[in-house]
Structure 1
Amino acid sequence: MAKTANLYARIEPEVKEQAESILETLGIPASNAINMFYKQIILQRGLPFDVKIPKSRLLDISEMTESQMDKELEKGYDDMKAGRIKSAKTTFADIRKDYDL
């Protein structure tokens, strides 16, 4: 099918740059990615991903009270005692793998 329709959208410049950089690395033109996104909307009969508020948000240490900080440190200590930890070496290896570094 011939591509004859135009789409005009306003997007944050930084978001556009970051996304296009990733698409370039993948060898996918932005127009093809948008076309794939639209086709997935049709196939899924909605957005092809969940749109919801996360159950928790990242902690910002600058916004934490002393008691909140103590509580978070206690959780970390409890995890350590229970063996629910990963070594720094494993953690950094996972980050390098996940972000292709």
Structure 2
Amino acid sequence: MAQTLVNIRMDEELKKNMEQVCQELGMNMTTAITIFAKKMTREKRIPFEVSVDPFYSDSNIAQLRRGVEALNAGKGIEHDIITVD
């Protein structure tokens, strides 16, 4: 089968992190992207869920900023660390 060159741009840190994960899995980025392309082509969909993390919603970010402002003003409330099992 004939090969073709595909160029993509991504953040330098993202590329470095992806290369590290690929290395840990015993493959290179070309193999990983080829696996993605074959699965997407076969299933005719993105092979994982794509969604927006609700943590980054406007209302949550505003709440976090208010908390940071309160802490910086010395008005913060200390809480115990919560662990999720």
Scaled to the shorter chain, the TM-score interval is: 0.5 to 0.7
Q: Structure 1, unaligned stretches of length 5 or more?
A: 92-101
- Between Structure 1 and Structure 2, which shows a larger proportion of helix residues? 1
Alpha-carbon deviation of 1:64?
3.0
Q: Distance between the aligned counterparts of 1:64 and 1:48, measured in 2?
A: 38
Q: Percent identity?
A: 18
Q: How many residue pairs align between the two structures? A: 72
1:1-101 superposed matches below 5 A: 2=1, 4-54=3-53, 56-57=54-55, 63-65=65-67
Q: Distance between the aligned counterparts of 1:8 and 1:46, measured in 2?
A: 21
CA offsets, 1:3-29, max 9 Å, x none? Answer: 511100111100000010110111111
Q: Distance between the aligned counterparts of 1:51 and 1:62, measured in 2?
A: 24
Q: Distance between the aligned counterparts of 1:33 and 1:62, measured in 2?
A: 36
TM-score, normalised on structure 1? 0.56
Change (3 A) 1:62 1:52: closer
Alpha-carbon deviation of 1:62?
5.3
TM-score, normalised on structure 2? 0.65
Structure 1 stretches of at least 4 aligned residues deviating more than 2 Å after TM superposition:
58-62
